[in-house]
Structure 1
Amino acid sequence: MNRLSSLALILPMLFGNARAEAGALRDLLTAALEHPRVEAQERSVASAEAALDAATGRYLGSGELSASVSRFEDRRIVGPFVPYDFMALPADRELTRYSARYRVPVDVSGLIAAGRERARSDLAAGRLAEREASLLALHRALTACADLHALNLEAVALAKRGASLNRTEERVRARADLGDATRLELSAVESERAAHDAANARLSSALQEARARLAAATGDANADAPDMLTVPPWPAPDPDC
């Protein structure tokens, strides 16, 4: 599978013209395509290609060309001899010989042809497995990246909510010190604070899990989701279908 063509199709869908963020995601996806699982499939395809070349060689046979040059101290006849024409004798001190050989296999039982077809099938299966591994690696990296990006946005929103909650809590406690706030208001603020802390704890755990999945997908322990990640629009249904 062509890695560059795969990335060229994916990146414009996610980032448009945001080159810096697209470059960051390209690095993540490139790392995902260099995962040991993908590289193992690539090595399997290379091995299957070599096996097919060997099987094709056995099926078609083999040939060879050779050339040799002999040098003599005196002139010798190096060409065809024509009687009664001694003046036209082809003589020289160097004699060049060329030869060609070709061996044709005799496949009486069909084993050689069957081996070639089996090698072709193995190569096709290997290429399919390589493409599947590449697509799965891209899917895992993109999914982990999108999840982490969503959690990062949620963390920003939660931080803003926490800042607003801090201001509200300060106002209510200040009013309580002055005797203007009721116990119900204090309980509501404390309940909201507890809910915020619980949400923050859940988000922290989810962020750790998402970073771990992204690190496993890309092989980079410090990988993080780039900004400006957008979800491509769902294609409109075809009215003719």
Structure 2
Amino acid sequence: MMDLIRRAAEDLLASKCAVALTGAGISVESGIPPFRGKGGIWERVDPMEFGHIDTFEKDPGKVWRVLIRDLKEIIDRAAPNDGHKGLARLEAMGLLASVITQNVDGLHQMAGSTDVLEFHGNCAWQRCMDCGGKKRTRDVDISSLPPVCACGGVLRPDWVFFGEEIPPAALQRSRQLAMRCDVMMVVGTSAMVHPAATMPVIARETGARIIEINPERTPLTGYVSDYLIRGGAGDVMNALVSELESMG
């Protein structure tokens, strides 16, 4: 693995614009279950019922009880792991421009990343459906559900429900970064969910080097990614940052 770590370090040092695309795998080490796949939230909760905006608008209390309340408790306890911290460290070193993420936990920002593009919004904040005001999820009182804003409006996660559009500004800027970058790190995701899945493809087609960091092979491996560093995000990022610091 160390040969690939050094290769990644050299690619980052030679890069003029590097970006990262992250998915659920980077946050699993923080105790946050993925939505999809084995052990994911959608195994126990019907996504097209409880994850759909129509259901929330009809019965927000039910969606809070079945889906959001438990997720709030998990996110309230979660802290950035070494994968999040490593990407923030790369930004501080001037080696990473932006993070594009499919995650809704806000852990990249908590770790110190300052330019984070969120495809699916952020469950670390709640938004009032009436006045639009926002409140940190950890500060929301859930003694009665659904929780309400001071104005009386229902609070909802500031994420993208099924049936809602990806924020256009995030999508547009992500595409611009994918076309402009010369290195893209794909961390903790197989990039199977669109439109995030198109970002490594766009980057590859415009000449970028694609560095994949995942525990196992994915559909990207050998086709889109130039090489795969196998391992957990935290361990790989620790090794990569250490290698970069040793290279001066």
What TM-score do the two structures reach when normalised by structure 2? 0.20
Structure showing greater Rg:
1
Higher share in helix: 1
TM-score (norm 1): 0.21
